[in-house]
Amino acid sequence: MLEIVDGRGQETPVHIARPRAPRRATSAEEAVRQIVDSVRLRGDAAVVEHALRLDGVRLRPDELRVDPDAVVKARALVRPELVDALEVMAERVRATSERQLPQPWIDRRPDELVGELVRPLRRVGVYAPGGRAAYPSTVIMAAIPARVAGVGTIAVATPPRPDGSVPESVLAACAVAGIDEVYRVGGAQAIAALAYGTEHVRPVEKVVGPGNQFVTLAKRLVAGWVGTDADAGPAEVAIVAGEGASPDVLAADLVAGAEQGPLGTHALITWIPALADAVCAALEHEVLVHPRGDDVESALVEGGRAVLVRDMRHALDTANSFAPEHLQLSFDGARDALPDVRSAGAVFVGPLTPVAVGDYVGGTNHVLPTGGAARFSSGLGASDFVKRIYVSGLERTALERMAPHVEALAEAEGLPGRARALRARLGDA
């Protein structure tokens, strides 16, 4: 089920290929553009039209927003164990988020000041995906950092069921996060409605949350009009495994990644060939007992990799080059290897730290960069919901001190008006 990639003979990191969807992007991009433009121009009418055409859901414009009372009542409609889990998740993500906010600072000198203000966004939209399953955890992961940042209002959009209802688990998560503004709308039309606003959907300043290809394309189209987070692609896990790793546990970890759908990458990186063989054998049983074994097997055939490397250093270099969404370190002394990790959305250290814990209650966020974007971007956090505003203030002596430098730079750049604006303040115009 895993493609064997033998990189033991090379000095450079081993390349791990990601599965690619068939090239239909042009038609998808055009379809999303038409949806986004129609919502921007026609508002609610376009939203309900696309809901019926694409999802088979018939709604009136005044039904787009879920009754706030239904959000409150949802806590009592789900199992108490789920509410407890959502509250634990929220508390642990809150504790992490509180450490992430940049602090305002002002450097005051006798004749000048320079610094930064930090201001929260006023209004944010969270997209909680649906389709294969309901994702209450995404509501918590996106909303709690925004709350910690001080965002004034949070709105959630999520695809409804065919009968127009929203899963109670998602509504319960909204209640735990203190959100009562929930819209039963999904896909590209949801992103457009949040970005531009409609008669019944108030616009936001930033849209965050994962989604399918249509959601991702829509976020790209509205970016610039509103803020967006990083593109969310198929699930990825890279497991660096060595001495002390259990083949059965590693097989279970690979299946846990593969069950999330097609086009993901699920890579085992090891310098022990016998371990790779044992994991491949253990996968047969794990797939056999999974309720959706055929889908999992297809995902592993498509994106499963067993990468053989020379040693632990080569393995970490390979993982850094791949820059996975999730990086699992399953070998003796894994904690000591953390300084060598440069590129990953989230790292899970040691054999008793599965990705599933991080996805839910580990305290880390599960909205993470995919597709190699961990080389230059980070997972969602409280800092994504604030703006830093630079501040500068000068007295006359400071302006006089800086004048020669401003004039020299203005002359070099061919912008004489800048030098004149300075001289006008000094009475030299």
Catalytic residues: 325-326
The token pair that represents 15 in the structure block? 């390349």
DSSP 223: B
What is the distance between the alpha carbons of residues 138 and 156, in angstroms, rounded to a whole number? Answer: 10
- Specify the pairing of strand 105-109 against strand 112-120: antiparallel
Residue 31 CB coordination number (10 Å): 15
Q: Token match 């910690």: residue?
A: 148
- Burial track 99-114 (b if 16+ CB lie within 10 A, e otherwise): ebbeeeeeeeeeebee
- Contact assessment for residue 92 and residue 189, using Cβ atoms and an 8 Å cutoff: no
E strand or H helix at 207 = strand 206-208
Distance between alpha carbon 9 and the CA centroid of its chain, in Å?
36
> How far is CA 21 from each of CA 137, 199, 209, 303, 378, rounded to the nearest angstrom?
27, 36, 21, 12, 24
* DSSP letters spanning 77-128: TS-HHHHHHHHHHHHHHHHHHTTTPPPPEEEEETTEEEEEEEEE-SEEEEE-
What is the distance between the alpha carbons of residues 10 and 327, in angstroms, rounded to a whole number? Answer: 22
DSSP 177: T
E strand or H helix at 15 = none
